[in-house]
Structure 1
């Protein structure tokens, strides 16, 4: 997994793998702030996931597929629309770094408007990962989180 520096919506530099994924259960989606179609819906779904997971240690990560435009300020405004709590990080960074991360996750596309609506759910400690295709609903994402994280308790 790529361990390059990215910026979150608060402007904090963070290592993608080491700080956001390592030893955590995560759900990752892909957005851009100028999107008027699926991204606002995807954000609303992640807000529902955040609400359903209240009190659980699950890291939500929204990766910008438009790092040239999606500055820290843009991501901060976007995250505020959805009431993102501390466990929901929106990340951007240098274009080359974001492209490398997207490629490593198998979701890179040249045209941001064609980006994946997929959600990737995983538990780094157990190396169990699930891809949810289409526009998965909150209950499906939470069920996948339960599936991968339950492996850690076995």
Structure 2
């Protein structure tokens, strides 16, 4: 009797099974609470208006923040669909929650490009997409204890701060719109 040596396909299947078992024990979403020090930078919204980031993020109103880029085809549309769903759930009071998306690709994401991006998601008042200089975008990310150095390093991070709180809830992981809505409920946004 000769011993069978597994073929490449069998090895791949075995490796995939090991990865599934290992990843099944790790949570898909990592949620933590922290205090952030928003950068005092001036960014530009989708309408070409200058916006002082720190003023919005420390306003005392509820804020939800994420990082996107306009030509992203994977993570960003899912994050933005969550924002659109949240605005739909909030209805007429959607402007009472500041939704902020900051581009990590300021070279391509002009205010016009961001306005076009938001149009795809039927964004309403209360949701701003922000761009600016590379230096100011980097400062904004560092102020939120986040740094995405380039497009190939894109990760799904959503930050939520309930009204009147200094604590931010960081959610690391890609959420469906219903999971995002549930996280907003848990943090008191809804």
Q: Does TM, scored on the shorter chain, surpass 0.5? A: yes
Give the number of the structure whose alpha-carbon radius of gyration is greater: 2
Q: Taking structure 1 as the reference length, what is the TM-score of the superposition? A: 0.87
Give the 4+ runs in structure 1 shifted more than 6 A.
Answer: none
- Name the Cα RMSD after superposition: 1.8
Structure 1: gaps of 5 or more residues: none
Task: Work out the CA distance in 2 between the residues paired with 1:64 and 1:117.
Answer: 13
The answer for the alignment partner of 1:22 in structure 2 is 59
Residues 1:97 and 2:136 are matched in the alignment: yes
Task: Work out the CA distance in 2 between the residues paired with 1:143 and 1:127.
Answer: 21
Deviation, structure 1 residue 109: 2.1
Give per-residue Cα distances to partners, 1:21-60, cap 9 Å, x unaligned. 4211111111101112221222112111111122252111
Number of equivalent positions? 150
Deviation, structure 1 residue 145: 3.2
Q: Taking structure 2 as the reference length, what is the TM-score of the superposition? A: 0.72
| Stretch of structure 1 that moved more, 140-149 or 56-65 | 140-149
Task: Work out the CA distance in 1 between the residues paired with 2:44 and 2:58.
Answer: 15
Task: Work out the CA distance in 2 between the residues paired with 1:117 and 1:27.
Answer: 13
Structure 2: gaps of 5 or more residues: 1-37
